[in-house]
Amino acid sequence: MNDSKALAAKTDYGREQIDLIKRTIAPDLDDNELALFVEVCKRTDLDPFRKEIYVQKRRIRGRNGEPDTFRLVFITAIDGYRKRAANTGLYDGQLGPFWCALDGQWRDVWLDKMPPSAAKVGVRRKGCTEPFWGVARYASYVQTVPAWEGNRIVGHKPVEMWEKMPDNQLAKCAEALALRKAFPNELGELRTHDEMEQADNVVAPPFDPGQLLPEAAPAKTWDAAVFELSDRIKKATKAGEMNALAAELDAASRAGLPAPLYAALRNLFDERMRKAKEAKAKRSTPEQDYQPTDEEIAALERGEGP
C-alpha cells in the first residue's frame, strides 16, 4: 500500500501493522476507506487484531435505474460494546436478559424448545434514574438461509447458531440496543455482528399480516395463529392429528408465514414426531410392533417415560 507509511505516522500502528490490516482484515478497502477504519479503531480504542472491531463494505442497491453504491459498516463484538461502556466510568450494570413468547410474559430463563419471540435487556447509567431498555424481536434479527429439497428451495431456516442458541443470540442483540441507547456517543456508529447477520437474509415475498391460517378465526393474525399451532403440536398424540398439523404447516408456508416462524414450528413438529417414534420403538417386540397409547405418548412428552 502506497500510503501505509503516511497513515502509520498519524496513528499508533506501525507501517507493518497497517499493511497487515490491509491484507488480512480489510482487503476490500481503498486507501481512504482504510484510513477511516484505522481512525475509528483509534477513536473507539478497539483492537482489530483482537477481533474487537472489523469493517464491512455493504452494497446499497440502486433504485429506478440508479447505480449501486457502497457504504462502510463498523462492526464489533458484544464484548467490545461492554468494554466501551465500562471505559466511560458511567456504566452501572444491567437488568436481564429476559425473554418472552407470543404470550408477552417475560421470563429470566428460556427453557422452551421454540425460539423466544423477543428478548430485552436494561442498561443502567450513573446519573440516570431509569435503565435504558433494548428490545429485540426474533423475527427482526434471526439470520436465515434457503432450505433446499433436491435442487429447489422449499423455504428458509435459521443458520446454525440461531438454530442452536436462539435465546443467546437474541439476548446479545437486545443488549447491544440497550448499550447503544445508554452510550450513544461511544457506540452510535458501531453495530454488533449479531445485529447485522439478518442483513444478508434473502428477502421473502411480501405478505399480509392479516392473512389467516386455514380455518382460523377472522380476528387472528400470524402471531396468534403460530401460538395456537405450537400449542396444538405440543399436545398432539394421534397420527391423524399430526398429519393434519403437517398439512396446516405447509399451507401456512405457502400463504406467506414468515420463514423464521415456519422453521421454528417445523422443528417443534419434527421433535414431537421423533418422541412418538421413540415411544413406539421402546415397546416393540419381534412378534408384533407395539402401538403406544395416547396416555403413554403424553407421559413421554412430560419426561416421565413409558
Are 70 and 94 found together in one domain? no
**CB contact set of 271 (below 8 Å; sequence gap of 6+):** 113
177: pLDDT strictly greater than 60? yes
Q: Which amino acid is at 157?
A: K
Phi and psi torsions of 159, nearest 5°: -65, 170
The three cell numbers of residue 290 are 407395539
Rounded Cα–Cα distance for residues 153 and 155 (Å): 6
Question: Which tens digit of pLDDT belongs to each residue from 205-244?
Answer: 333 333 333 333 333 356 677 777 888 888 877 777 777 7
203: pLDDT strictly greater than 90? no
Question: Which tens digit of pLDDT belongs to each residue from 36-85?
Answer: 888 888 887 888 888 888 888 877 777 777 787 888 888 888 888 888 88
User: If we measure between CA atoms, which residue out of 303, 302, 272, 298 comes closest to residue 114?
Assistant: 272
pLDDT at site 30: 85
The three cell numbers of residue 22 are 490491509
CA Rg value for the chain: 25
Band of the pLDDT at 9, cuts 50, 70, 90? very low
Taking residues 109-114, report their average pLDDT: 89
Are 50 and 94 found together in one domain? no
pLDDT at site 250: 76
Band of the pLDDT at 258, cuts 50, 70, 90? confident
Task: Answer with the residue of higher pLDDT: 161 or 277.
Answer: 161
Task: Answer with the residue of higher pLDDT: 244 or 303.
Answer: 244
pLDDT at site 131: 95
Strands (E), 77-228: 91-100, 106-107, 118-125, 132-137, 144-149, 152-158, 190-192
Rounded Cα–Cα distance for residues 133 and 121 (Å): 6
pLDDT at site 188: 67
* Phi-psi label, residue 89: left if phi above 0, alpha if psi -120 to 50, beta otherwise: left
201: pLDDT strictly greater than 50? no
Are 83 and 172 found together in one domain? yes
Name the DSSP letter for residue 168.
Answer: H
Are 169 and 248 found together in one domain? no
Taking residues 159-168, report their average pLDDT: 90
The three cell numbers of residue 248 are 396446516
Are 66 and 162 found together in one domain? no
Rounded Cα–Cα distance for residues 222 and 243 (Å): 21
Residue 217 resides in a domain: no
**CB atoms near residue 109 (< 10 Å):** 8
Boundary of a domain, candidates 60, 76, 92? 76
- Domain count for the chain, please give it: 3
Are 102 and 148 found together in one domain? yes
pLDDT at site 302: 57
The three cell numbers of residue 131 are 435503565
Phi and psi torsions of 98, nearest 5°: -125, 150
196: pLDDT strictly greater than 80? no
State percent of the chain over pLDDT 70: 74
Residue 306 resides in a domain: no
Phi and psi torsions of 256, nearest 5°: 115, 15
CB 126 within 8 A of CB 141: no
290: pLDDT strictly greater than 60? no
Task: Answer with the residue of higher pLDDT: 242 or 169.
Answer: 169
pLDDT at site 129: 93
pLDDT at site 5: 54
Q: What's the whole-number average pLDDT of the chain?
A: 76
User: If we measure between CA atoms, which residue out of 161, 175, 192 comes closest to residue 119?
Assistant: 175
pLDDT at site 207: 34
3-state SS, residue 295: helix
Residue 210 resides in a domain: no
pLDDT at site 92: 94
Domain that holds residue 61: 4-76
303: pLDDT strictly greater than 80? no
3-state SS, residue 56: strand
187: pLDDT strictly greater than 90? no
Taking residues 131-155, report their average pLDDT: 83
Name the DSSP letter for residue 200.
Answer: G
The three cell numbers of residue 17 are 501493522
- How far CA 29 is from CA of 20, 36, 62, 283, in Å, comes to 13, 10, 21, 63
Residue 112 resides in a domain: yes
Task: Answer with the residue of higher pLDDT: 40 or 109.
Answer: 109
Are 119 and 173 found together in one domain? yes
Burial class (CB in 10 A: 0-12, 13-18, 19+), 233: buried
Are 229 and 294 found together in one domain? yes
Name the DSSP letter for residue 233.
Answer: H
